[in-house]
Structure 1
Amino acid sequence: MTSVRSDRTFYVSPRASDNVDGFHIKKPDLPIDLPYIGCVRSRRTDEIESSNWMLGCETLDRDYADYHQYKEYISALGIKVLRMQGGWAKTEKVQGIYDWTWMDNIIHDAVDRGFMPWLQTGYGNPIYPGGGGENLGAGMPLSQEALAAYENWVVALVTRYKEKVKDWEVWNEPNFSDNLVNTPEITADFNIRTATIIKRIQPDARISALALGHIDVEYVERFFAYLSEKKSIELFHNVTYHDYVYNPDANKLAVYKMRQIVEKFAPGMIMRQGENGAPSVGGTGGALSNYNWCEVTQAKWDIRRMLENLGNDIECSIFGIIDMNYSGNGPIRRKNTKGIVESAFDNQAVRPKIAYYAIQHVTSIFDHTLERLKMLKHTYHIAPSGSRSAYSLNTDRSISVYGYRNKDSQKQLYAMWADDAIPRDEHELNCLEFNVENGNFDEPVYVDMITGGVYEIPAEQWRKQGDVYTFKNIPVYDSPILVVDRTLISMK
């Protein structure tokens, strides 16, 4: 085992005006005893047709962030779908009068840049009695006057942006711990009310249900039972949840239980991780604050969660593009450092963080050209099949392994990482033997996803016997690495 402190490892562009297309070093300083041959080349949004990834651009409705300060950073991430909140209270400050200026500037700019806004219709508006609150954890509009005003707002919002926005969401985290008003039935009814309006105006709209704040299986069950009773499940394209856990791989059982409930009521409905990320500084605002985070552990968390979601057929949105300066009367009143771009306290963008570059490496490689393989541990023989692979690793540690192949060439890629603990600000590399049946490689290489470093796997460290490939002394640690055919990696 080789161990190194991460403060020796990474070098990041220090200013917002600098190049965001990758690391400014020739060779990452990781103790990987393999010949270094290059670095993953990032790809911009217009170079990628489609992928599993979305990007959080939330809290603009409350001015905790400023889209125009970070918009130049988005395209270099290669992500198309941007999650945003509509901001009823910001738009209608006087009853019956909508000022769209702020939102027009954002939506039009995003679409002109080739992005696809995923727009939420909440929160509430306190200018109406019973109009609900405008912050996380607030109650929904419940009075007849407020509900009528809310319906008018949704009509106006969808009518205005239906040519530019196809993806919609209703209310953020209705089961947030401080909010006891939003029962599953009230939330379901509110979702139906909103989705019915959207579909009437925009029949081809894709609407996300629920936006669950943390996985609560009873809440999910009651929510979908209500949708089923009202025969309204067909209104929704996907179901979203947010689940912040310190170990990004520790929520698989909860997700599995939620998926079982969704499948019972809505077979085949898409699961979407609508919001997930880790702080870069410990003790700051929002979820997961009680840990000594740094930029390295944030980056490890983010890309582990991204690749765990992808490996389990879950769409994934990263929270978020920039640090958010929470203020006002909401439950979070400190800077939320989950951004992958650092911000100043006046919302100015400062610089990309390590996670920004790590996410570039993920989005550059994992796009629509790959399809997932069914991965099975090597405990029994598997009959040859193009979509299945069996694998083994010579370790007792828990290692996540996900396999993919290129749809055209059929060449393969395997992602793996130690998943048994919270990411650490230290790299403990264990050199393991990796065996895979039904492999397909001509020239396998090793990729470290944090740094983007690409390394040769020397001929003496791998062999092929029949359809079984054996790779020896492969460094594995608590951040994703790849064993991949070189043709699937674009390098610079």
Structure 2
Amino acid sequence: MDKLTKIGEVAAVPSTAVKTSKIGIGFEKLDRGVFDPSKAYDKVAAIGVKWIRLQSGWARTEKSKGVYDFAWLDDIVDNLCRRGLQPWLCLCYGNGLYDEEAAKVFGAVGCPPIKTDEQKQAWHNYVVAVTKRYQGRIGWYEVWNEPDGKWCWKHGVSGTEYGEFVKATAAAIKVGDPDAKVIGGSMCLTGLGWLNDVLQTGAGECMDALTYHSYSPDEVGGFERVRSLRAVCHAFNPRMEIIQGETGTQSRDDGAGALRGGAWTPLRQAKFLARHTMADLFDDVMFSSYFSCMDMIEALNGVVGDKSSYLDYGYFGVLGADFDENGVATGDYTPKPSYRALQTIAAIFREDVKLAEMPLQFSAGKGSPRLLRGDDSFKDLQYHGFRKSNGSAGLVYWRSTELLTTSYESTVSLEAVKLPEQVRLVDLVDGSIYTLPPAMIEDNGRGVRSFLHLPLRDYPLLLTFGDFI
């Protein structure tokens, strides 16, 4: 960026000032009390995301049969709503009051209440109580978490079994709140066989949306996956929305959980976040949720009474934390580079921004003085255009090199017509705004402008035309 002139930074827009957005973040695992939400509310709201994912915590709420204590969840929901955030709730997990196996598992993770009539009725009653209580505050309910993974459906994964569970849970949701929306799936694996088994039960008829999780260094593979998921879902229910419910990676190489062991750093995490979030917008999902707000223990395979079994620290957070002897996140909850990346994207891609085809094309350009060769080809890029109602436009582009092996810098050139005169370049990871020097812009006098040797990185940059920022 050294040939450009920095003129400012993208201003953060708090969630209270955001009316609509497709950008969200996770606030999960409070059913297991793994961090202090009171220290996170303001910092998360300052990111400017809108959607925020919670987990309902049946075992934490019903500790005596038929008696619900929602005080802990009320406090979380009310604090988030007060700050302009829109909670959506994953209904989970099991309850040791009704299941001996669930009583042995930390947080009763992965123990669905489907074995006995008593379990089924207790789950129905609980779901009715939840949705009735949060009517008007929560409108979307997700049925379980990652049921296609053995860690969250511990007795053995079955799409048919989960499909029947979705139908029963959807019926309970509607008893508590007839206007509530039902989300199914929460699927973490890529195969379509499990999903087909789910939808063959008729579950698709009561699902307003499908969520999928995306833990892969390669965001490009997600484009085909989303097309496939959307096509399968629409074969059963053409009205079903697609939601990216979890994606994320670590900020260090020694964390537990998905993508563990990779050569992750805080900067690579920020690049991952920017690439995957923009890819979700390219896919036109209903909304996209980054996992997660906080460094925290994974706590998916813990055994009650064996603390060592669930002190498995994950470093997925946009906020960094320390940990006490029980694995609870402590410290000041410090923003990482990924925090600023999400804040930048949330500020720009909100309200009336729409995907759009752009009147431009990448060109060979002249020899790039930065490369001592020609510019990169558009064939190696990920890019898409966006429009806003004020007439402005933006082009997001990056090169999808391997994040764990390569730090990529290059240049590209393009030609554009019929776009606003004012041009800016925005770094979507750190929020810097630049102007282009005159030498990088050529006008042929007939309405075509060429933009020469623009910076190209292994993370998204945004070229804006008019007042897009």
TM-score computed with the length of structure 2 as normaliser: 0.88
The residue matched to 1:290 in structure 2 has which SS?
Answer: coil
Check the 8 A contact 2:262/2:404 in 1, yes or no.
Answer: no
CA, structure 1 residues 130+175, in 2 after alignment: closer, same or farther (shift >3 Å)?
farther
Give the secondary-structure state (helix, strand or coil) at the position aligned to 2:40. Answer: helix
Question: Structure 1 residues 356 and 439, CA, compared in 2 at 3 Å: closer, same or farther?
Answer: farther
Indicate how the Cα distance of structure 1 residues 221 and 468 shifts in structure 2: closer, same or farther if over 3 A, else same.
Answer: farther
Note the alpha carbon deviations across 1:219-268, whole angstroms, 9 max, x for none. Answer: 112212222xxxx5343221100021122333322222222211211224
Map 1:78-227; keep pairs closer than 5 Å. Answer: 78-129=48-99, 132=102, 134-178=107-151, 179=154, 181-227=156-202
Q: Which residue in 1 is equivalent to 2:367?
A: none
Cα displacement (A) at 1:285: 1.1
Q: Deviations over 1:245-295 (max 9, x none)?
A: 122333322222222211211224211000111110112111011201011
**Deviation larger for 249-258 or 85-94:** 249-258
How far off is 1:190 after superposition? 0.8
Query: What residue in structure 1 maps to residue 370 of structure 2?
Result: none
Indicate conservation of the 8 Å contact 1:405/1:412, yes or no. Answer: yes
What are the within-5 Å matches in structure 2 for residues 314-333 of structure 1?
314=285, 315-327=287-299, 328-329=302-303, 333=311
Whichever residue aligns with residue 83 of structure 2, its letter is: R
Of the three residues 314, 318, 322, the one matched with 1:340 is 318
1:434 is matched with 414
Query: Partner of 1:440: helix, strand, or coil?
Result: coil
1:478 and 2:458 matched: yes
Q: Deviations over 1:3-22 (max 9, x none)?
A: xxxxxxxxxxxxxxxxxxxx
Q: Which moved more, 1:358-367 or 1:457-466?
A: 457-466
Q: SS at 2:235's partner residue? A: helix
User: Does structure 2 conserve the Cα–Cα contact (< 8 Å) formed by 1:89 and 1:124?
Assistant: yes
Which digits, 9 at most, give the CA deviation of each residue in 1:138-196, with x for residues without a partner? 44432211111111111111122113211111100001144452411111111111111
Quote how far apart the aligned CAs of 1:131 are: 7.3
In 1: Cα distance, 2:449 partner to 2:344 partner: 25
**Which range is displaced more, 267-276 or 305-314?**
267-276
- Secondary structure, counterpart of 2:421 in structure 1: coil
Tell me the distance in 1 between the aligned counterparts of 2:147 and 2:251.
26
Q: Is the 8 A contact 2:150 2:157 kept in 1?
A: no
Partner SS for 1:83: strand
State the Cα distance separating 1:38 from its structure 2 match.
1.1
CA distance in 1, matches of 2:322, 2:55: 22
- Report which structure shows greater RCO (CA 8 Å, sep ≥6): 1
Query: Which whole-Å CA distance do the structure 2 matches of 1:55 and 1:410 have between them?
Result: 29
Q: What is the alpha-carbon distance in structure 1 between the residues aligned to residue 313 and residue 454 of structure 2? A: 39
State the partner residue of 2:352: 369
> 1:73 matched to which residue of 2?
43
Equivalence for 1:36: 6
Q: Find 1:251's aligned residue among 210, 218, 222.
A: 222
CA 1:128 to 1:405, structure 2 compared with 1: closer, same or farther past 3 Å? Answer: same
Distance 1:136 1:416, change over 3 A: farther
* Greater displacement, 68-77 / 134-143: 134-143
Match of 2:266 in 1: 295
Per the alignment, do residues 213 and 270 of structure 1 end up closer, same or farther by CA in structure 2, a change over 3 Å counting? same
Equivalent AA in structure 2 for residue 283 of structure 1: D
Change (3 A) 1:297 1:393: farther
Q: Work out whether residues 85 and 122 of structure 1, in 8 Å CA contact, stay in contact via their aligned partners in 2.
A: yes
Deviates more, 1:177-186 or 1:319-328: 177-186
CA distance in 2, matches of 1:208, 1:131: 26
Q: What is the CA–CA distance in structure 2 between the aligned matches of 1:298 and 1:192, rounded to whole Å?
A: 37
Equivalent residues of 2:95, 2:108 under 8 A apart? no
Query: Which position in structure 2 is the counterpart of 1:279?
Result: 250
Q: 1:312 to 1:423 in 2, by over 3 A?
A: farther
Structure 1 SS opposite 2:269: helix
Tell me whether 242-251 or 51-60 shows the greater mean CA deviation: 242-251
- In structure 2, relative to structure 1, the CA distance for the partners of 1:389 and 1:219 (3 Å cut) is farther
Q: TM-score, normalised by structure 1?
A: 0.84
Change (3 A) 1:131 1:198: farther
| Contact 2:427-2:433 within 8 A present in 1 as well | yes
Deviation at 1:368, TM superposition (A): 2.1
CA 1:191–1:455 in 2, change beyond 3 Å: closer, same or farther?
Answer: same
Counting aligned pairs with the same residue, the percent is 26
* Aligned: 1:411 with 2:392: yes
* Alignment root-mean-square deviation, CA: 2.1
Q: Distance in 2 between matches of 1:423 and 1:402?
A: 24
Instruction: Name the CA distance, whole Å, in 2 between partners of 1:406 and 1:464.
Output: 24
Q: Contact between 2:295 and 2:316, CA under 8 Å: does it hold in 1? A: yes
The counterpart of 1:49, out of the listed 3, 19, 30, is: 19
